[in-house]
Structure 1
Amino acid sequence: KKVVYLIPLSVCVQRSTALYINQSLSGKWSLSNSNGSLCLAAEVPGCVHSALQQQGYIQDPYFRFNDVSYGWIALYNWTYVNVFTVTKQKVHLVFDGVDTVASVWLNGILVGETDNMFRRYVISLSSPVLYASERRKAHSAYKVPPECPPDVQRGECHVNFIRKEQSSFSWDWGPSFPTMGLWKDVRLEAFDVLQLIQISYVPLYSILSQWDIQVELLVDVVQTINGEVTISVPELDSEQTFQTQFLSGKTKSTFILHINTVRLWWPNGHGDQPFYLLSVRGFQNRIVILNTESKVYFRTVELVQEPVVGSPGLSFYFRINGKPIFLKGSNWIPSCLLRGILISNHNNIPGDISSPWSPLDANMNALRVWGGGVYEQDVFYSICDELGIMVWQDFMFACAMYPTEDNFIQTVREEVIQQVWRLKSHPSIIVWSGNNENEAALATDWFSIPAFQRPTYIKDYVTLYVNNIRTIVQEEDESRPFLVSSPTNGAESEQEGWVAANPYDTHYGDTHYYSYTLDCWDWRTFPRARFASEYGFQSWPSFSTLQPVSLAEDWSYNSDFAAHRQHHAGGNQEMLLQAALHFNLPNSTEPQKRFADTLYITQVMQAQCVKTQTEFYRRSQSEIIEGKGHTMGALYWQLNDIWQAPSWSSIEFGGKWKMLHYFAKDFFSAVLPVGFEDDGTLLIYAISDLNHDLKLRVTVYTWTELDPVCTLKSDLVLVHGGSAVAVFKEPVATVLAGCGRCTRLTCLLTFHLEDPSSSQQGPTNHHFLCSPKDAQGLQRPNITEDKSGYTVTLHSASVAPFVWLDVGNIPGQFSSNGFLMVSRNITVAFNAWRPTSVTELSKSLTITSLMDVY
């Protein structure tokens, strides 16, 4: 059953003097459901849910249990209607994003159909839930697992049969909102001569130390044109004119502009991100028929998979402009599920919209755009270009097998072509990846596939990702590498027929790793991988984020609301069990305080766990131990949130930083000291992204006093860029004996790196000699504060671990937070993201340290 867009067209016979008109049809449309019971105005871009909320038919979809209460919306078919006029010879009706299954009618005539959220259609919406079910029934030969998500996710079934955001049907960190709508712009493109559909420009470095800019034009022409195209980069005094012929209809033309010396684009922390303006002009009989200008960046990228000295297997790292780069970052999920939805206090906050400002603030240089979401907006990649954020770009397939019927393959092929053409001009994208975890799902039998059917699923896998997606990408973009899956053994997986026996083999490729029961403070539990592209731990968001979508009766860790928001089986209990390994759990008799304290302790646990694991990966970049190591990337799961619920994110829904994100600012610092113990010996490594002469200063404290017990120093050491060097190695017993009155239970260590002039480089780090719950002398620090403008000076009477400043729902970030306070005074600044006042900040400010929750 399908519903239509009714789009009446009034055609006028007069000709406009303009050669080309681009008329937006975004804005007000009308929307109705299939039985006619609802008819309302709707904003485009947007979705059915956003229109219903804006017109008062539903409330905040994220409030309490509304994700379930509003499930009826996705079971209707819906119709969008608009009216427009056109005056040109040739007219294109362009839908940049239709979500998802629709028929397009023009003046009562069917002119097109859509079935792919990720494609642009040049030409009402059916229920995606019912459509997916129908497609599953039509595929009768064999099942394509998984049939349904786990019950705990409260999602919908058969999502792999529809080219729609897979996580919109639910995920272990998000709700089920398989909405419909015109989620991107709609416009009318009318022209008399020529229309530019797409332009791409890819700089390619030749062996002759010369750059070639490959400029590709995809145009639609009313009738064959003999003309010329001039391509220039004025700043480089480079220009070339090409005689060309544009054939009638859609035509793809390729031009090469030769460039000699350029300034290179570098990842954040390794150099600048200069660009040049590229001008493309087309002429017919000296009349301009095409004129466009774009930014162009120059960089090379290589994925290096070669034998490693002293180890079986292959390396796995990225070389940018010939330089090996350690990738420091996170995984990006969709910035929102319901486009255009109005949620009080949670819209348009830096860090929540499609921009990587927060990754840059946390010293990241990379993001992985995960394959269960969407290909992000153009602005996302443009900002990554400008800021030097490398992007690992998945294609949108995740955690499932997929069908390979001709119609499914054909829509995927068009999707891939469009997305590669749209995105390949961005230097920030350094690798394409065919899917998320589907090789691993096949290899380790996630779906209990009978042995006799396994060849069928492997054949489907190769058909979709190798014979189609990989082939298209390699034809359309020779400027960057392609991986079939993540995790994968890369070149080794290819040797094994594209599905390796163990895609998690740490001697190859990239690895995803999660363990919630093993002690996360013990670095031995982590795989010494070549590249860690997913790992992490859950935590709850802050109380101020949960409060707007809950009631007082929900403010308990054991409430129905808490259980409903948790979509990872056993997740709430796992967080407490992990926290209890090293911390006493909150025990206030006041329910709301106990709930807020428990939220805090989950964030402390998450931050410390991910810190330990990330530091392990960073210090492993220069080592091969038992054949494993040379780790060259750490992308934790996950950066952002899609609703107010427990998840692996470091940024809450709405943009508020969790403790983990403040920790990331330190553990991704360009210069970092990392301490750990191995068989009773304390080792401290100096890690540096760039060449530095560094020395170490270690300070020992007791838990009861703020005056140091003793201080230790190392000699000056040259730490080469992209390396980790051991600068301190002593038995813990020797360190403690040298400090007189210290034991493991009474003392702790801090340490930092200094340059030759004794100026501190990078953050101060810490090493606990025992679990805080076992520490002797740890006491409530009685922190007080002095406020001056947007800064707060804290005063403490004793050592205070995990000091947390919170200003409720006032959006912004602190200069430091979640820190270990080992000084009597510390000043912290607040950067507000909206206008506020000192009075508002003072009333909202709360300060919590570890002992305050006991």
Structure 2
Amino acid sequence: MLLHVRLSGWACWCLFSGVFSVFSLQQRLTVNLNGKWRLSNSNGSLLLPAQVPGCVHSALQQQGYITDPYFRFNDVSYRWIALDNWTYTTTFTLSAELSVKQKVLLVFDGVDTVGSVSLNGIAVGKTNNMFCRHEQSSFSWDWGPSFPTMGLWKGVRLEAFDILQLVQVSSVPLYNDAFSQWRVQIELLIDAVQTARGQLTLSIPELDSEQTFQTHFNPGKTKSNFTILINTVLEMTPVSLLCYPPQVYFRTVELIQEPVVGSPGLSFYFRINGKPIFLKGSNWIPVHSFQDQVTPDVLKNLLQSAVDANMNALRVWGGGVYEQDLFYEICDELGIMVWQDFMFACAMYPTETDFIQTVREEVVQQVQRLKSHPSIIIWSGNNENEAALATDWFDIPASQRPKYIRDYVMLYVDNIKKLVQEEDQSRPFLVSSPTNGAESEQEGWVAENPYDPHYGDVHFYSYILDCWDWRTFPRTRFASEYGFQSWPSFSTLQPVSIKEDWSYGSNFTSHRQHHEDGNQQMILQTALHFHLPNATDPLKRFTDTLYITQVMQAQCVKTQTEFYRRSRSEIIEGKGHTMGALYWQLNDIWQAPSWSSIEFGGKWKMLHYFAQSFFAAVFPVAFEEDDTLVIYAISDLSRDLKLRVNVFSWTELDPVCTLNSSMLLVPGGSAVAVFKQPVASLLAGCGNCTRLTCLLTFQLEDDSSQQGPTNYHFLCSPKDAQGLRRPNITVKVEEKKTCFSVTLHSDSVAPFVWLDVGNIPGRFSSNGFLMVSRNRTVDFNAWRPTSVAELTASLTITSLRDIY
């Protein structure tokens, strides 16, 4: 048989999964049609092998018709690919066993996007939604390239059966407060050729639970629900670095929006198994422009990197893709909570009948596919579309505004929200992000000000105001987007660039920056507190500039995140009780400047190393108000803690003086002030210290040891620091059993010490740190075989004073 899939080119106009058994259902016969297909363009001038799953760009690159699409300006050079029409073709033979089946289905799990399917010359279907199974960030963003992809990006297969087949199974645990009892709601999607009656046994072996049901299925696709009552369960708590043994865990999730004492507005936080949880994490974007190139190892590395930075949550952003099953499986295993957007972002969408119908199919399919994953704690209808309407991003005429609001409500409330709540009663639904939540609903789903910090979640970006001034940030209930850009390291840029590109003012650096004035904004923000690189050697000046943008980004996001974490337990002028900090963004889709903390390829930026500290379970945070230094103890755990403050001179590696607080109980899930003193009196008691000559470090301790990382506070901008000199740092690399140790020796204070081993993939245990000791040892975990000699030869060490 001859199968054609013709894809139309894009014009330029713009925890509980699988632990039960199902018996007495006939097994289907499946024929996998993945593998080598043939691919041709509209006029037949190109004919080449193509892998399925895959896309046209990947096939052209694999066969040598194009080079790396990410190289230099190839995103522009290869626009012709998206403007052509492409046809995938394969032939297959039906086996005798399959040909006698009563029903045979041709299943496409993902077609990107507008296409038609024919079998032996007979049209059998059309496609227009890449997120539906058939029996969009592709057009660029400010952090990514424009590659409108086409292809069979998920699997293709034949399914054949006689009486009935199990199409899909999903399950969610539900808790009955009245009876203090758990039950598991199991949903089966059955495709029956004829009326079928029988016996169905569902079991959860780990909980020794089993029930048998008499069943009846009518012809066609039927959805049936069954409930198993559970007497004893283990409840899951999403805590970073907590590894669960093989077992069945249950969890409830609630989004709490209720009046706040001493404040107008409503709370906005998640309660997991009855416990309020502060969400610490980031936002997830597509890993690659070509989804067939996203490997399990890449997913595992990124998600483990999130956990290793003490994150407990990720928001899957609504302008990308619904991630593959493995993404959610890993999140389940690692205890990462997922805020799942539907794929609608920053646009006004149509509400014609055909579009609404394909959206309904998309929503049902995705919820049925994903709702068994306990990692998902909330569905969200769209990214920023309520805010777009409320603040008139698109210059909608006043006379048309009521129609746009009606269309918004029709799409996200009357359809998506209603469908999600029908399909899944186990987790909350939020119409948009940012939103005022329950208050937006009271205002007809589009609030006058969706950024009101008294309600819901907030997205906040400010690139001009001083990011070291915490007063510039909104004291919001929940911060679901915020951040600053930086450039990736030179080793990440080098493979996709040439020598003439290696300057901050080159055509390449301008082309890679998709955020308006982004490169200039980074320099302006950096210059507020740092000297700009001034090396005479062009390459060193370029690499120093890459470094200082990462310093700026890390310090800015650190300041903002610390502000949100210390705002957890307090209400100031009616604002506060912040219960989430998800910075924008975790990962990169290509080698370019962006808000990410992990570069394309998996290398950690300085920001991600900082996140290890500012998301730590126990951490001290300092700020100044009215020339008074205040230090908070932030703890996710209940601990008796005391504070040690060390005052250092920029010229010395020994503390000028040390201050200690008394022991204080810091309740779990709180931020408590443990130190408050005017800066002038603090310095007066420390010899000849002034704001320009000294800096502070501080740490929390119990009776026996330090708890959590050490933090620091600069009393002036580093560019104004007196006595800061270029350090002489020597290094020794040694091989250990499972990693390499790198021991540094410095002869002076060194801020933002950055270790880089070029193109040797791997990760340091700590990086970008303030060195106020003569010796410091960090580990390096290599992701490929290497040696002490290679590491030593590749290692470069940069600190702040080295760039000017």
> Does the pair score TM above 0.5?
yes
After the TM superposition, which of the residue ranges 804-813 and 505-514 deviates more from structure 2?
804-813
Corresponding position: 1:738 with 2:690:
no
Contact 2:299 2:327 in 1 (8 A): no
Contact 1:203 1:212 in 2 (8 A): yes
2 CA distance for matches of 1:584 and 1:350?
A: 39
Helix, strand or coil for the counterpart of 2:480? strand
Q: Aligned pair in 2 of structure 1 residues 548, 799: CA closer, same or farther (>3 Å)?
A: same
> Equivalent residue for 1:182?
152
Correspondence for 1:791 among 708, 716, 741: 741
Helix, strand or coil for the counterpart of 1:427? coil
- Which letter maps to 2:209? S
Q: What are the residue-to-residue correspondences of 1:650-661 with 2, within 5 Å?
A: 650-661=597-608
Corresponding position: 1:61 with 2:74:
no
Correspondence for 1:102 among 106, 110, 115: 115
Query: What per-residue deviation string (whole Å, max 9, x for no partner) do you get for residues 653-709 of structure 1?
Result: 011000000000110000000011001000000000111111100000000110110
How many equivalent pairs are there? 774
> Equivalent residue for 1:397?
344
Query: What per-residue deviation string (whole Å, max 9, x for no partner) do you get for residues 503-528 of structure 1?
Result: 00000000000000000000000000
Correspondence for 1:827 among 774, 777, 798: 777
> Equivalent residue for 2:138?
168
- Which letter maps to 1:534? E
- Which letter maps to 1:201? S
1 CA distance for matches of 2:195 and 2:175?
A: 34
> Equivalent residue for 1:504?
451
> Equivalent residue for 1:535?
482
Structure 1 position 58, deviation (Å): 0.2
Structure 1 position 844, deviation (Å): 1.2
Correspondence for 1:322 among 265, 268, 274: 274
Corresponding position: 1:763 with 2:713:
no
Query: What per-residue deviation string (whole Å, max 9, x for no partner) do you get for residues 458-488 of structure 1?
Result: 0110010000000000111000000000000
2 CA distance for matches of 1:33 and 1:384?
A: 39
> Equivalent residue for 1:839?
789
Contact 2:6 2:86 in 1 (8 A): no
Structure 1 position 716, deviation (Å): 0.7
- Which letter maps to 2:63? Q
Query: What per-residue deviation string (whole Å, max 9, x for no partner) do you get for residues 116-157 of structure 1?
Result: 0101111xxxxxxxxxxxxxxxxxxxxxxxxxxxxxxxxxxx
> Equivalent residue for 1:411?
358
Query: What per-residue deviation string (whole Å, max 9, x for no partner) do you get for residues 535-582 of structure 1?
Result: 000000000000000000000000000000000000000000000000
Query: What per-residue deviation string (whole Å, max 9, x for no partner) do you get for residues 777-824 of structure 1?
Result: 000111110111111100000100000000111111100000000000
5+ residue gaps, structure 1, are 8-17, 123-164, 277-295, 342-346
Structure 1 position 269, deviation (Å): 3.9
- Which letter maps to 2:215? T
Corresponding position: 1:358 with 2:358:
no
- Which letter maps to 1:28? K
Corresponding position: 1:197 with 2:143:
no
Helix, strand or coil for the counterpart of 1:181? coil
Structure 1 position 4, deviation (Å): 5.0
Helix, strand or coil for the counterpart of 1:780? coil
2 CA distance for matches of 1:265 and 1:112?
A: 44
Query: What per-residue deviation string (whole Å, max 9, x for no partner) do you get for residues 324-363 of structure 1?
Result: 000000000011111335xxxxx75955668511100100
Contact 2:27 2:165 in 1 (8 A): no
> Equivalent residue for 2:85?
77
> Equivalent residue for 1:645?
592
Q: Aligned pair in 2 of structure 1 residues 603, 6: CA closer, same or farther (>3 Å)?
A: closer
> Equivalent residue for 1:131?
none
1 CA distance for matches of 2:319 and 2:445?
A: 21
Contact 1:315 1:508 in 2 (8 A): yes
Helix, strand or coil for the counterpart of 1:121? coil
Helix, strand or coil for the counterpart of 2:608? helix
2 CA distance for matches of 1:754 and 1:844?
A: 37
Contact 2:241 2:308 in 1 (8 A): no
2 CA distance for matches of 1:19 and 1:634?
A: 46
Q: Aligned pair in 2 of structure 1 residues 643, 179: CA closer, same or farther (>3 Å)?
A: same
After the TM superposition, which of the residue ranges 529-538 and 349-358 deviates more from structure 2?
349-358
- Which letter maps to 2:597? S
Q: Aligned pair in 2 of structure 1 residues 6, 351: CA closer, same or farther (>3 Å)?
A: closer
> Equivalent residue for 2:579?
632
Corresponding position: 1:225 with 2:175:
no
> Equivalent residue for 1:558?
505
Structure 1 position 274, deviation (Å): 5.7
Correspondence for 1:723 among 670, 674, 677: 670
TM-score normalised by L of structure 2: 0.95
Structure 1 position 89, deviation (Å): 2.6
- Which letter maps to 1:852? D
1 CA distance for matches of 2:193 and 2:721?
A: 79
- Which letter maps to 1:54? Q
After the TM superposition, which of the residue ranges 225-234 and 464-473 deviates more from structure 2?
225-234
Q: What are the residue-to-residue correspondences of 1:157-306 with 2, within 5 Å?
A: 165=136, 167-207=137-177, 208-269=179-240, 273=244, 276=247, 297-306=249-258
2 CA distance for matches of 1:760 and 1:653?
A: 35
Helix, strand or coil for the counterpart of 2:234? coil
- Which letter maps to 2:158? L
- Which letter maps to 1:73? I
Q: What are the residue-to-residue correspondences of 1:578-727 with 2, within 5 Å?
A: 578-727=525-674
Cα RMSD between the aligned structures? 1.5
Correspondence for 2:766 among 816, 820, 839: 816
1 CA distance for matches of 2:782 and 2:52?
A: 31
Contact 1:6 1:108 in 2 (8 A): no
Q: Aligned pair in 2 of structure 1 residues 19, 703: CA closer, same or farther (>3 Å)?
A: closer
Structure 1 position 261, deviation (Å): 1.2
Q: Aligned pair in 2 of structure 1 residues 479, 753: CA closer, same or farther (>3 Å)?
A: same
Contact 1:6 1:106 in 2 (8 A): no
Query: What per-residue deviation string (whole Å, max 9, x for no partner) do you get for residues 245-268 of structure 1?
Result: 122221111110000110011112
Contact 1:96 1:121 in 2 (8 A): yes
Q: Aligned pair in 2 of structure 1 residues 426, 170: CA closer, same or farther (>3 Å)?
A: same
Percent sequence identity is 77
Contact 2:241 2:307 in 1 (8 A): no
Corresponding position: 1:119 with 2:129:
no
> Equivalent residue for 2:261?
309
Q: Aligned pair in 2 of structure 1 residues 784, 661: CA closer, same or farther (>3 Å)?
A: same
Structure 1 position 835, deviation (Å): 2.2
Structure 1 position 841, deviation (Å): 1.5
Contact 2:241 2:310 in 1 (8 A): no
Structure 1 position 271, deviation (Å): 6.0
TM-score normalised by L of structure 1: 0.89
2 CA distance for matches of 1:75 and 1:6?
A: 14
Contact 2:240 2:334 in 1 (8 A): no
2 CA distance for matches of 1:425 and 1:828?
A: 40
Structure 1 position 273, deviation (Å): 4.2
> Equivalent residue for 1:575?
522
Contact 1:354 1:380 in 2 (8 A): no
- Deviating runs (4+, > 6 A) in structure 1? none
